[in-house]
Amino acid sequence: MKAAIIKISFYFLLVFLLVSAHPVFSQRLGSVTGDETNLYAQTKQVNQFFRRFNNEEDRFGNRYYPGDSLYRDNTFRSVYLNMLFDKQSSQINDKLKKEFITQVSDTKNPLFLDFHSDSWFAELSAIFNYHSTDKNLLLFLKLEQENLGYKWVLTNVYFSEFLKNFFKGDKERIEKSFLHPMSHELDFMNIHKVFDHPKYIEYFANKDYHPDYLTLLFYEIKKGDMRFVSSGSLKFHFFQIDGWYFEVSFVNRAGKNSGWLITKLYKISKTEKEELIKFYLP
């Protein structure tokens, strides 16, 4: 299991650009052939995924409301939850899936998703033109409350060009990159050391320093060195269920097992959850 956690961590931090490509707008329509029940069964909208996860809607799109006999009924949920998993995903363990469904639909302590919770994030791939060359970026967003409503806001960006310029991996250089604790007695005459080698300038920052990649993105755009070209694939990362992480992506294929589905599922500790969320909220 530890190997699985390491694998997902490396996925988030190093292999984010290896995402499946599918047009955002065509996602909404899906690919439906044959019986019309396929269209009903397909989870066509993200909001619909929430309602079906909570058993607030049937497979034909009819809503349940508080007071209805089937509203959040956990007997129905245990069946419906199974339908919300991508049955062709190689990254879902059947034993873990069964454990997850049993825990979430437990009649004594059922667990539901909250659309307005801050424990889920959107990941949108995009193309930006950077110094006259098209580059792939990943934008991370979350819902934020404002007045009586909510809005999507940017929280972070993953861009390899930014990342490679802020990597504290040279141990020999780290050992050399410091200002003597008595530097103040010399009016910091040695401050030039900080700026002599720009490549390693962040080595002189405090140990809690983390580069703000979103500010870098805004800065490059304001300078005119970067401009938005187009958006691409979209997925969502969920941390709302304690002890679990799952990913929701749009599966575009014929049949009932399509639409917005759970495509990845992992058990994670509280510490691992906090570390992963830091990636979205640095």
Question: Per-residue pLDDT for 206 more than 50?
Answer: yes
Neighbours of 73 (CB within 10 A): 17
What does the alpha-carbon distance between residue 262 and residue 245 come to, in Å, rounded to a whole number?
10
Residues 106 and 245 in one domain: yes
Mean of all residue pLDDT scores within the chain: 85
232 - beta bridge partners?
Answer: none
Spatial distance between the Cα atoms of 68 and 81, rounded to a whole number of angstroms: 19
Q: How far apart are the first and last CA of the chain?
A: 26
> What is the C-alpha separation between 86 and 30, in angstroms, rounded?
15
- Do 46 and 90 lie in one domain? The reply is yes
- What is the total count of domains within the chain? 3
The burial of 247, by beta-carbon neighbours within 10 Å (0-12 exposed, 13-18 middle, 19 or more buried), is given as: buried
Q: How far apart are CA 177 and CA 201, in angstroms?
A: 8
Q: Check whether residue 6 and residue 107 sit in a common domain.
A: yes
Residues comprising the chain, all counted: 282
Looking at the fold, whether 225 and 135 belong to one and the same domain comes out as: yes
* Same domain, yes or no: 63 and 91: yes
pLDDT in tens, 215-271: 999 999 999 999 999 999 999 999 999 999 999 999 999 888 999 999 999 999 999
Report yes or no: 229 and 130 within 8 Å, Cβ to Cβ: no
Same domain, 239 and 225: no
**For residue 147, pLDDT beyond 80:** yes
**Contact yes or no for 141/126 (Cβ under 8 A):** no
The rounded distance, in Å, linking the Cα atoms of 83 and 203 is 50
User: Which pLDDT band, with edges at 50, 70 and 90, does 21 fall under?
Assistant: very low
Q: What is the chain's Cα-based Rg?
A: 23
Q: How far apart are alpha carbons 182 and 50 in whole angstroms?
A: 58
Residues β-bridged to residue 121 = 237
Average pLDDT over residues 36-65: 86
Regarding whether 225 and 138 lie in a shared domain, the answer is yes
Residues 108 and 7 in one domain: yes
Can you tell me the distance from the alpha carbon of 53 to that of 241, in angstroms, rounded to the nearest whole number?
12
How much is the pLDDT for 10? 39
Angstrom CA distances, 31 to 36, 177, 250, 258, stand at 12, 57, 11, 8
Q: Does the pLDDT of residue 179 top 70, yes or no?
A: yes
Distances (CA, A) of 161 to 10, 128, 167: 18, 12, 11
What residue numbers bound the domain in which 195 lies? 171-204
pTM of the entire structure? 0.81
pLDDT of residue 43 exceeding 50, the answer is yes
Rounded distance, CA 173 to CA 204, Å?
11
- Same structural domain, 12 and 111: yes
Q: Quote the DSSP letter at residue 59.
A: T
What angle in degrees, to the nearest 10, is found between the helix axes of 74-83 and 46-53? Answer: 140
Quick one: average pLDDT of 125-145? Answer: 97
Query: What mean pLDDT comes out for the span 86-113?
Result: 95
Does residue 175 share a domain with residue 158? Answer: no
Same domain, 137 and 184: no
* 7 and 95 belong to one structural domain: yes
The secondary element (H helix, E strand) that includes residue 10 is helix 2-14
